[in-house]
Homo-oligomer: A and B are copies of this chain.
Amino acid sequence: MRRLHLDEDRAFPAETMARDAARRIYAATRHLPLVCPHTHVDAGLLADDLPFPDPARLFVTPDHYVTRMIHSAGVRLEELGIDGLGDQGNARAEADARRIWRTFCEHWHLFRGTPSRFWLTHQLVEVFGVATVPSAESADALFDELVDRLRKPAFSPRALFERFGIHQLATTDSPLSSLSGHARLRAAGWGGRVVPTFRPDSLLHVAHPHWIAETDELAALTGMDTGDYAGFVSALAHRRHVFRAAGALATDHGHASADTTSLSPAEAARIYTAARAGRATPAQAAAFAGHMLFEMARMSCEDGLVMQLHPGVLRNHHRGILRQYGHDRGFDIPTRIEFTRALRPLLEAFGHTPSFRMIVFTVDETTYSRELAPLAGAYPALTLGAPWWFLDSPQGLRRYREAVTETAGFYNTAGFVDDTRAFTSIPARHDLARRIDAGYLATLVSEHHLDLEEAMDTAIDLAYRLPLTHYGRRPANAPALVDSTPVSTASRVTGKR
C-alpha cells in the first residue's frame, strides 16, 4: 500500500524564487483562524454533536463533487449510496458502507488533477492521520482505520470545529426554517460561533413547484397574510428580522439570471396575485424574481444584511436524475451570464449606499475581467466573492486573481468562502486558498510588482481581515455617496419607495 503524501510546498509555484516567497507569505496566514461566512453545514450537526457514521457517509455519498466524477465513469449513483426516490422502481441504494467506500477507492485515479483529490488527501492525512493512498487493495484497511478514528471523541463535530480554529461559521437556511439547530446550539452553551444565512430562493421564484405551499407556510410562521404582495413583502422582512436577531450576517441568492429590474408595486402585486392563483407566465416569473432581488437589496439597505448573489446555473440539467435521486447530484450545469446590464438597476439605486454591501459570485469566468472587476472597481457597495463551485480549485483560484486583481485590486474582493456541506473538508479548502493566494502574491513579488512585506500584509487581509470586514455588520442607514435616482426611472423608483 502506497503512502499518501502531503507536501509542505503543495500548490506553490515551482519556480524557486516565487516558491521561497510563497513559503514566507503562507507562513503568515497558515495558522490564522478560519472565517466561514458561507457554508452549507447543518447547524444540527454541531447541536447534536454525534460522531460521523462511517467513511462512506462522511466522504462519498453526500459530496456531489465525488459522486458526479465516479458516476461520469459509468457507476450507478445507487452504488455510491444515493437513494432512488423509490417510486420509479430503481435498484435500491447500496447500504453497505464498506462497499461504497471500496467503489470510491477503486476510482481514486479519476480525481487526478482535481481539487477533490487535494481536499480528500488533506482530510485523510491532516484531519484523520490516515496516510494511505486509496485503492482496491487498501480500501478495507483504510475503512477500518477511519471507523476507528470516527469513534473517538476527538473527531466529533464540535471537537473538530475547535481544532480547525473556526472563528465563525454561517449556515444556509430557508426563511421557513425554525432555526432550531441554531437555538439548540445556543442553548447548549457551547462557545462556537454559528450563525444562519437567509436564503429565500424558493420563495422568490413563483414557478417553484412548492411556491404556493411555501407562501402559505410563511403566513403560518409569521402570522402575516401572504395572500397579497404587501403581506408577502412584510412577512419576508419579518423573517429577515428574525434571522438577524439569530445572528445572521447575510442573505444568499441563487438565481438563473442576474437581472435586478424593479417593477412598480402595482405590477409586482399583479404578478404575485396571478402566481398565487397558479397562473403566472414564465416571463412574469422571471420578472418577479428580478424584482425581488431589487427588493432584497432595498431591505438590506435597511437591515444591514450583506446580500450575496450567485447566478447562472441551470439546476437539474437531467430531469430524470432529479426525479430518481433528488437535488444536488452533480447535474447542475453553469450557463453564460451577464452582469453589466443586469445589475444596473440595483447598482444605480443602491451601489453608493453605505449600509449596503453586495457580494457577487459567478461560474462564468469570462465575466471576471470584462464585467465584475470593472463593476467592483467602481461601485463602493459591490464586492467580488471568492471563486465559486467548480472554480475553487488551484487553477480556478489562480485565474480569479489573475483576471480580477489588475482592475479591482485586492480590496474589492471578499476573501475566501468554502461554500461546503463537507464539514471536515473546511480546513483543506481554506488551506488551498491560502496557498494559491500566497503563490499569486509571491509571483507579484518575484516579478517586482510588490515587496514581500506588502505581500504578507495583503495575504493576511485576504485570509482574515477582508471576510470579516465585507461580511461584517453594515452601518445603520446612511446618506448615499451620490444621488442614486436614475433619470429615466426617477419617478417610478421614488414612487416605489
**Chain A positions near chain B (C-beta within 8 angstroms):** 5, 7, 9-18, 68-69, 71-74, 76-77, 88, 90, 109-115, 117-118, 314, 317-321, 323-325, 330-336, 338, 340-341, 344, 347-348, 351-352, 354, 363-366, 369-371, 373-380, 382, 390-391, 393-396, 399, 401-403, 405-412, 443-444, 446-451, 454, 457-458, 481-488
Contact = CB atoms under 8 A, between A and B. Distances in A.
A402 B395 CA distance: 7
A330 B412 CA distance: 15
Given A7-B448, A378-B71, A348 B320 contact: yes
Contacts of A449: 10-11, 113, 117-118, 394
Contacts of A72: 376-380, 382, 408, 412
Quickly give the copy total for this chain.
3
B454 A112 contact: yes
B485 A409 contact: no
B14 A334 contact: no
B109 A454 contact: yes
A398 to B, nearest CB: 9
12 contacts: A11-B447, A14-B446, A69-B409, A72-B378, A72-B380, A109-B457, A109-B458, A112-B409, A318-B348, A369-B391, A394-B447, A395-B402
Nearest to A381: B74
Contact of A483 (B88, B115, B334, B371): B88
Contacts of A443: 14
Given A330-B378, A390-B407, A486-B320, A14 B15 contact: yes
B74 A113 contact: no
A473 to B, nearest CB: 16
